[in-house]
Amino acid sequence: MRITLNEVVQNARNLGYARRFPDRDDPRVRDGLIVPQVFPRFSVGKGASLFTLGSCFARELEEQLQEFSLPTRRLVVPTGERAGRPNGILNEYNPGTMCQRVEYAVKRATFESAGIAPENDGLIDLLLADYVNPATQERLMERRREVDEVYRALFQCDMVIVTLDAIEAWFDNLAGLYLNRIPPGAFLLANRDRFELHVMDFDETQSLLDRLIQGLIAIGLQRIILMVSPVCLESTYSGRDCAVANMYSKAVLVASAVGLSRLYSQVDYFPSYEIALSAGIESFQPDLLHLREDVSKIIAELLVRTYCSGDLRVDTVK
């Protein structure tokens, strides 16, 4: 990126005091967190339809977005099928699964029976989030149709919020699909050439996210927010210490998301990751993986204040 002198001067005027890193007395420091200024290029009104795409952090944000219509909250999975949030089955953990999910929805295509593996006395869906109990083939296909129905709401949504999580992803060479979970151990060992782990670099990550954005724009979406989930990588197969692998993962995602927000007027980058990390491990629950609820609430409130105009209509893109 090259910036002319005129643009440098304009940037300095627009940012004001925010041009400098805050000290403890800076108004951007609140509740022990650094909350950067955000300059939105679009907004929606209260009551607008928002589609949240991403990992468990997307589900956490949903709980703070009660004044909006959220199609992703309509899916309720029976407690016997998966522990945790009723719609946690919608979690998408890497750019590959997010991209293919949007592209299939845009084409109104179905995954059919690809990405299914045996486990114990049933089958599991490798395209869905983990912690899902084995089920029959009939129930797996029914559940896929339920998820497809949720994604059809993309065509009527006013804004999409994408929470990027990690760059490590298992890939099924036979199906040509990214997976949301590691295949069961015995099945993985019996199919050594079928599955491989992708640790995405910047180019692959940005390419997948670019395809995702183009798919959303193709169906008329003009308001897309990219953010990076502060939730940490739980484990890694990259060969690095997990703390290092997590930081690398987040750095690649931040760089990709910021770069794409500069390429597309329909895309904004929201600094959820930067806000959470500004307080270090104090932002996290005792497991040091998930955010404290009050920190998630601060991030969600800033998101609403920044992108919500306060009425029931959808504003035009600026």
- pLDDT tens readout for residues 131-178: 788 999 999 999 999 999 999 999 999 999 999 999 999 999 999 999
Q: Does some domain include residue 206?
A: yes
| Number of CB atoms found within 10 A of residue 45's CB | 16
Beta strand extents in 157-232 (DSSP E only): 159-164, 168-172, 177-178, 195-199, 224-228
Q: Does some domain include residue 137?
A: no
Tokens representing residue 276 in the block: 């959470």
Q: Does some domain include residue 129?
A: no
Q: Please identify every stretch of the chain with a pLDDT value under 50, giving residue numbers as ranges.
A: 311-318
Query: Which CATH number is 226's domain given?
Result: 3.40.50.1110
Q: Does some domain include residue 143?
A: no
Residue 120: the pLDDT is 85
Residue 84: the pLDDT is 82
Q: How many domains does the chain have?
A: 1
Residue 67: the pLDDT is 86
**pTM of this structure:** 0.93
Mutual angle of helices 242-263 and 202-218, in 10-degree steps:
40
Q: Does some domain include residue 122?
A: no
